[in-house]
Chains A and B, each alone.
Chain A
Amino acid sequence: MGQALDVHRLQFAFTVTFHYIFPQLTMGLALLLVYLKTKALRTGDEHYNRAARFWARIFGINFALGVVTGIPMEFQFGTNWAAFSKAAGGVIGQTLAMEGVFSFFLESSFLGLFLFGEKRLGRIGHWVAAFLVFLGSWLSGYLIVATDAWMQRPTGYRVGAHGEIELSSFWQLLLNKWALWQYAHNMLGAVQTGCFVMAGVGAFYLLTQRHENYGRTFVRAGVLVGAAAAILQLFPTGDMQGKLVAYNQQPTLAAMEGLFESQEGAPLAILGQPDVEKRKLDNPLEVPNMLSFLTYRQWRANIGDGSGSTAALARKIVRVAMDAVDADGLCAAPLHCQHRRMDDRGTGAAAVADLRIDAHCKRNLSARGGGQCVVHADWVHGDVHDPGDPVAVPDLSRDRTRTGTGKSSDR
């Protein structure tokens, strides 16, 4: 069984990775095509139209490959992850179906017009077609990122009586904070891919002294747009994306950075090979304290146990304390509330409130549980806030602010 699971994971990992080679190029090129078509429209220079035609062909074939490599992905949600689809299909099906209905139709209809219909459409019409192809592909990107964001940081859902996951708030699903930042970060990456390809082709033409006219246009567009995208990708989007991982998925951050133990003043590993057996990084090349600083803006902040300078807060999702608390606390993410202020709904749905009650029943928690409530990583869902932020849960009727709830873990 374990082997079958590994094969499934490998197959799916290959499918998504291979698929994404194409969309990241076409999403970036889509923007650059709009740029070239806009230039052509505004300057009236046929040069830009010819440049756009050149890239339209490259765009077209990569787009087609993106579509055909995307179909296996959709299939594999069912063939490889049937149980997950059955449980969560009602939620992530929303965004996936919206992608089909809103963006696929838009893209595919106008791609045909864009590629085959320049003569029929006229100058402005052709620009509109280019813009709609861009719009469709970027919308598609958002809906897919929103799907992934829900899997990384689930919001707007409830668990039904038979364990099925139902949507409870459409807008929370769609406007997931994780989705917004990941999308910005991701699309800037796509733009850079497009820019590198365009600048690369341009540079090749310049160096081989062929089509130098086009070469200059390609290099200029690629380098200018690419440089801007690269800066924005680092800051603020990359920074924020990293923080979201740090606040929501401490173990993910630790794994990404090759950090085996919780550590104050954690270094940023530039290079190194993780040795999983000895739980250390071989041949490390590290910038001291950097990871702590990047994550919490404090050089000595603790990375790995979630107690950095920011407290993590799980809310409302953990319905019954025993769902959440693993008696042994193994493989668990600690749940902290070091806030001064914290909004506990007082309705019994709040994770922390439940935990506090059960924490007094010693047998439900291991010895360590007295000080820190240890919650299974799988079950900690929900918002994580910057210190001092009150937590608002819009879909609960009673909303009163209490200070100092969850004291048991606030020792």
Chain B
Amino acid sequence: MGTIWFWLVAIMITIYVLLDGFDLGAGAIHLLAAKTDEERRQVLASIGPVLDGNEVWLLAAGGTLYFAFPALYASAFSGFYLPLMIVLWLLILRGASIEFRNHIQSAVWDPLWDFLFCTSSLLLAVFFGAALGNVVRGVPLDASGYFFEPLWTNFRLDDETGILDWYTILVGVLALLALMMHGGLWVQMKTSGEVSRRAKRVAGRAWWGVVAITAIVTALTFRIQPQVKENFTTWPLGFVFPVLAVAGIAGVIFELRKHDERKAFFASCAYLAGMLTSVVFGVYPMVLPARNPVYSLTVATAKAGEYGLKIGLAWWIIGIILAAGYFTYVYRSFAGKVAVDKDSHGYGD
């Protein structure tokens, strides 16, 4: 039962990254791809109707994590106190800047909201990447099951690690580039005209960075987290995940060259999904590796009671089927390119 929930939470996080990834990415390239007010409104309109729904996946994944692995939630959230507070502020700034830009139409304030929207999206991508890096590298858990990490120490991978060291920063940069590519592909698919062309160019450039850093990070990960190598040698079937990632990243450039906007975006989804599932597969059965492997939190030590997990599975399946229904409906309703008319609320008058 624990393993099932391990994968269900992993899937929810993956869906979150695929969905919120493109709007974070769209934010990160906001200043690069969209220059005029109209272009910027196009970028915002392309994510506006789905943004809240995408962020809900973070909440739902967090809630599910809390319910299925309470010990992990307790340990990770108290240990990652500082970066979580930063992430919180970034989420708030990002949400607020979008709302303010939509509600206060003023040429004086607009540049500030655009700047805040762009930088908060950008930093969120880096922090999420660094968080993933921390999980892979391992955190200084001790026998109590708790830890605390400062933001940075000496940037080296020794016992006194901080949130940021050279490895996690590298993962953060990879996350940023990957989401810029992902967001660029979304924007080029959903918009038209100059902004679409620029987004495509940004995505194409980010692609090179993604390929290079993915290769480096993958090689490093095998050295830093021995469990990854062990898992892939024990269950060679797990190679489907990295293969999916490679196919995805190859697909992106292939479809971009063919100018198939939709397929390029979906290839990028495949890349992100492949990367995340590879990591998840690599660290299993640990849910939070420790620097000292003895203290690692595993599926077995962190999971909640068996009865609760079983009951949870019943409502979770119903809930997710419903959610999938809503999302399909919403994305269909807002399918196609966005048009920026005077009143973006779509009211009749």
Q: Which A residues are closer than 8 A to B by beta carbons? A: 50, 53, 57, 61, 64, 67-68, 70-72, 74-75, 77-79, 82-83, 85-91, 93-94, 96-102, 104-106, 108-113, 115-121, 160, 164, 166-168, 170
Q: Is A90's CB under 8 angstroms from B308's CB? A: yes
Q: How far is the CB of A275 from chain B (nearest CB, A)?
A: 38
Q: Is B56's CB under 8 angstroms from A116's CB? A: no
5 further contact pairs, Cβ within 8 A, besides A67-B52, A100-B59, A101-B60? A78-B84, A110-B330, A112-B52, A117-B49, A119-B347
Q: Which B residues are closer than 8 A to A by beta carbons? A: 48-50, 52-53, 55-56, 58-64, 66-71, 73-78, 81, 84-85, 88, 91-92, 95-96, 99, 103, 145-146, 304-305, 307-308, 311-312, 315-316, 319-320, 322-323, 326-327, 329-330, 333-334, 344-349
Q: What chain A residues lie within 8 Å of B347 (beta carbons)?
A: 53, 118-119
Q: Bound state CA distance, A121 and B88, in angstroms? A: 34
Q: What chain B residues lie within 8 Å of A102 (beta carbons)?
A: 315, 319, 322
Given known contacts A90-B67, A100-B64, is B74 in contact with A83 (CB within 8 Å)? yes
Q: Bound state CA distance, A75 and B320, in angstroms? A: 22
Q: Bound state CA distance, A230 and B109, in angstroms? A: 42
Q: What chain A residues lie within 8 Å of B346 (beta carbons)?
A: 116-120
Q: Is A98's CB under 8 angstroms from B315's CB? A: yes
A-B contacts, 6 of them at CB < 8 A, read A68-B91, A71-B88, A97-B64, A97-B68, A100-B60, A102-B322
**A101: contacting residue among B49, B91, B96, B323, CB under 8 A:** B323
Q: Bound state CA distance, A37 and B103, in angstroms? A: 24
Given known contacts A101-B320, A105-B60, is B304 in contact with A79 (CB within 8 Å)? no
Q: How far is the CB of A91 from chain B (nearest CB, A)?
A: 7
Q: Bound state CA distance, A199 and B60, in angstroms? A: 35
Q: Is A108's CB under 8 angstroms from B345's CB? A: no
**A96: contacting residue among B66, B77, B85, B96, CB under 8 A:** B66
Q: Is B63's CB under 8 angstroms from A85's CB? A: no
Q: Is A101's CB under 8 angstroms from B52's CB? A: no
**A90: contacting residue among B77, B95, B305, B344, CB under 8 A:** B305
Q: How far is the CB of B84 from chain A (nearest CB, A)?
A: 6
Q: How far is the CB of A75 from chain B (nearest CB, A)?
A: 6
Q: Is A61's CB under 8 angstroms from B99's CB? A: yes
Q: Bound state CA distance, A115 and B52, in angstroms? A: 12
Q: Which of B63, B69, B85, B320 has the most CB of A within 10 A?
A: B63
Q: Bound state CA distance, A79 and B345, in angstroms? A: 38
**A82: contacting residue among B49, B77, B99, B333, CB under 8 A:** B77
Q: What chain B residues lie within 8 Å of A109 (beta carbons)?
A: 53, 323, 326-327, 329-330
Q: Is B319's CB under 8 angstroms from A105's CB? A: yes
Q: What chain B residues lie within 8 Å of A86 (beta carbons)?
A: 70-71, 73-75, 145
Q: What chain A residues lie within 8 Å of B330 (beta carbons)?
A: 109-110, 112-113
Q: How far is the CB of B334 from chain A (nearest CB, A)?
A: 8
Q: Is A97's CB under 8 angstroms from B77's CB? A: no
Q: How far is the CB of A127 from chain B (nearest CB, A)?
A: 15
Q: Bound state CA distance, A86 and B74, in angstroms? A: 5
Q: Bound state CA distance, A170 and B306, in angstroms? A: 12
Q: What chain B residues lie within 8 Å of A98 (beta carbons)?
A: 63, 315, 319
Q: Bound state CA distance, A348 and B36, in angstroms? A: 75
Q: Which of B77, B88, B327 has the most CB of A within 10 A?
A: B77
Q: Bound state CA distance, A86 and B145, in angstroms? A: 10
Q: What chain A residues lie within 8 Å of B319 (beta carbons)?
A: 98, 101-102, 105
Complex: chain B residue closest to A160, CB-CB: B305
Given known contacts A100-B60, A105-B326, is B312 in contact with A89 (CB within 8 Å)? no
Complex: chain A residue closest to B96, CB-CB: A68
Complex: chain B residue closest to A101, CB-CB: B319
Q: What chain A residues lie within 8 Å of B311 (beta carbons)?
A: 94, 167, 170
Complex: chain B residue closest to A106, CB-CB: B326
Q: Is A112's CB under 8 angstroms from B308's CB? A: no
Complex: chain B residue closest to A77, CB-CB: B66
Q: Is B70's CB under 8 angstroms from A101's CB? A: no
Q: Is A93's CB under 8 angstroms from B77's CB? A: no
Q: Is B63's CB under 8 angstroms from A68's CB? A: no
A-B interface, 6 closest residue pairs, ranked by CB to CB distance from nearest: A78-B77, A89-B70, A93-B67, A166-B305, A90-B304, A101-B319
Q: Is A67's CB under 8 angstroms from B308's CB? A: no
Given known contacts A86-B71, A86-B75, A119-B346, is B103 in contact with A79 (CB within 8 Å)? no
Given known contacts A61-B99, A64-B52, is B348 in contact with A119 (CB within 8 Å)? yes
